[in-house]
Structures are given as structure tokens and as C-alpha cells.
Chains A and B, each alone.
Chain A
Amino acid sequence: DAKTTQPPSMDCAEGRAANLPCNHSTISGNEYVYWYRQIHSQGPQYIIHGLKNNETNEMASLIITEDRKSSTLILPHATLRDTAVYYCIVRAANSGYALNFGKGTSLLVTP
């Protein structure tokens, strides 16, 4: 699975959009970009995933650059409950078995 690079921490004001970047310059053509988050000591929670096109669901939007070497997770209206560690994971659809969570980005949403 391709390696990802994320900033260790970010802040965001409540109600504003949180934009979390992820670099994955070695991504292969068959690898998806997945985002999970972990609220303090709870089980990781799936957010969204995509291959090439931008994706949106009820939780977030995922913007993938045309060359697929980076992506951005967007939480459109961050709330205090979005404070968590966010993990960007790149993996092929049928490869490997363990999710490589890495260190993620610790997002702090402030009032």
C-alpha cells in the first residue's frame, strides 16, 4: 500500500470548514483513498473513500487531485464532536488485510 503523509495537527473553529490534507505521491492506479477517524480511545470510524472522482456523503467530502497524488477531506461545518484523529489510508481494493493507519492528523475544533 502507498505511504501517506499528513500534518500532525490542525485547528478549526466551530462552524467553519475543516480541510484536512493528505499526500500520497506513490499511489498506484488501483489504490483507493480511504479516510477514517478516531475519537479519543473509541473505535475508528469510516468516513469516506474514493478512487479518482470527488466523493460526498453525509459526513464529508473527498477531493482528489487529478494526478491522484494528494487529497483533501472536507468537513463542511465542523462541530466540537468532530475533534478526533483523522487517518488517510491508501490501499488497493483487494490487497492486504491490515489497514495501515499511520499517525494521522489530530484535529481540534474550538468554540
Chain B
Amino acid sequence: EAQVTQNPRYLITVTGKKLTVTCSQNMNHEYMSWYRQDPGLGLRQIYYSMNVEVTDKGDVPEGYKVSRKEKRNFPLILESPSPNQTSLYFCASSLGPGRGSQHFGDGTRLSIL
């Protein structure tokens, strides 16, 4: 089954404790991206990747890092999480940035205390 898998689905942690949210897709998609969703602000893109070893900033990249060492994986790293990064996060993938539909993961709800 074609899917985008995120882990963990839920996480409560404290300020400053490094965390990584993993994202994996099994569709051999070149393009992957991370969004965060906040009430009243909708979905905003954090980072995206056109292919392996190619990443770029989206609209709200501050406080986040990503890597794309393999085509299928695109982890989101919070080196020093802060309460304003409490949000619902989605990973997405597609053949290309404008090619066809984007497939989204089920989301990761992060709470930073």
C-alpha cells in the first residue's frame, strides 16, 4: 500500500530536548516536504526536498533542520525545541513539486512544555 509514514504520532517533551520526527514514503517519490498546522494559520511549509541531498527552506524554517540522505526518508529535526513549536506536523511526498497529487502522512502532534 502506498503510504507516507510518520513517527511518532504524538510526543510531549520539554524545551531544549532535541527530537526527531521521522518520515518515510514507499512510492519512490522525489519530492518530500514538511508542513506544520496551527489554528487560524492553516498549513505552512517548513522545508522541502527535491531529491536526495537537495533540501530548501519553506515559509517557516526557523528552529528546524532536515536531511535527505535516502530517497524514502526525510526526517524533521528540532535541535532545541521551544513551546512555539507546539503544533501538528505533516510530511508529504509527490513525484515532483508540481507533478500530480501530494500524499500526506497521518500527522505528528508535538507538545513542547
Whether chains A and B associate is yes
Residue positions of A touching B, CB distance < 8 A: 34, 41-46, 49, 91-99, 101-103
Q: Are A96 and B97 in contact (CB under 8 A)?
A: yes
The interface residues of chain A lying within 8 Å CB-to-CB of B102 are 44, 46, 99
Residue positions of B touching A, CB distance < 8 A: 4, 31, 33, 35, 42-45, 48, 56, 58-59, 88, 90, 92, 96-99, 101-107, 109
Partner of B98, one of A43, A46, A91, A102: A91
Shortest A27–chain B CB gap in Å is 15
| Chain A: CB-nearest residue to B96 | A94
The interface residues of chain A lying within 8 Å CB-to-CB of B90 are 43-44
Q: Are A41 and B58 in contact (CB under 8 A)?
A: no
Shortest A37–chain B CB gap in Å is 11
Shortest B102–chain A CB gap in Å is 6
Partner of B104, one of A44, A49, A96: A44
Known contacts: A44-B90, A103-B42. The answer to whether A98 contacts B98 by CB under 8 A is no
| Chain B: CB-nearest residue to A94 | B98
The interface residues of chain B lying within 8 Å CB-to-CB of A41 are 88, 107, 109
Q: Are A43 and B101 in contact (CB under 8 A)?
A: no
The interface residues of chain A lying within 8 Å CB-to-CB of B48 are 97-98
